[in-house]
Chains A and B, each alone.
Chain A
């Protein structure tokens, strides 16, 4: 079983306590009604779906119930790091070769 570190519980917990909540760092426009259809489509539907490092939102739903962000490698399924919701995208990843 995967162990995922919850930044609020400050420890690694079994994956069964967590839910994925989609890609992270997607900012909603402050003027959503003024968005063009193309821009709205990009915001609403288009996701990066990379092969490799992805930034995701996760929720410790059966634990502290908090949302947080996680950096995961989609190839190895390994979690690189997790950080609290609202914190900026980490500029440097621990042990990242790429």
Chain B
């Protein structure tokens, strides 16, 4: 698995055309940017495998609901009691790291399935709340908090990267909808 993954990333034959690449919009107090491609992995594992997987990934898998952990450009988001989303922005392949682990787990590469959108600025919270029903105040959703939730009609994964910055992960085929929704939300939040 590790070899195959390394091959696909090194291959120059496939031209990668990320959805909405480089799109960006801003309104008073908030900026919405489509983020650069990243390596992503969906990880399912039982409690007993966590130590080995954490060691292989170089990040301790969080066990608390709605939390995440970041180390060396790699972020691990708690999605469910046995489910994590791994996002690597440093260009390292988390699939290759997990391939060496013999403990029971399921690691699926979803790098191209998602796109990341950054929402940053004093009005970022209001922008996301235009379509997300969760309480995003700093008390309820502190920096580093992560959760799968909804935005308008689609499912997103939300990560708070700073007091006034969020990362929204959505499926590629929904990215047009999500970006447009956030653009409208930004305008409303600014207005």
Contacts and interface: CB of A to CB of B under 8 A. Distances in A.
Nearest to B154: A62
Q: Is the interface of A mostly helix, strand, loop or mixed?
A: loop
A85 B75 CA distance: 30
A65 B150 CA distance: 12
A83 to B, nearest CB: 14
B185 to A, nearest CB: 16
Interface string A6-38: 001111011011000000000000000000000
**A1, A11, A63 pick with most chain B CB within 10 angstroms:** A63
B84 to A, nearest CB: 11
B98 to A, nearest CB: 21
B148 A64 contact: yes
A62 B150 contact: yes
Q: Closest 3 interchain pairs by CB?
A: A14-B133, A64-B80, A9-B65
Interface of A: 1, 8-11, 13-14, 16-17, 62-66
Given A64-B83, A65-B80, A65-B83, 4 more contacts: A11-B65, A16-B150, A63-B147, A64-B79
19 contacts: A1-B133, A8-B65, A9-B65, A9-B147, A13-B134, A14-B133, A16-B150, A17-B149, A62-B148, A62-B150, A63-B80, A63-B147, A63-B148, A64-B79, A64-B80, A64-B83, A65-B83, A65-B148, A66-B81
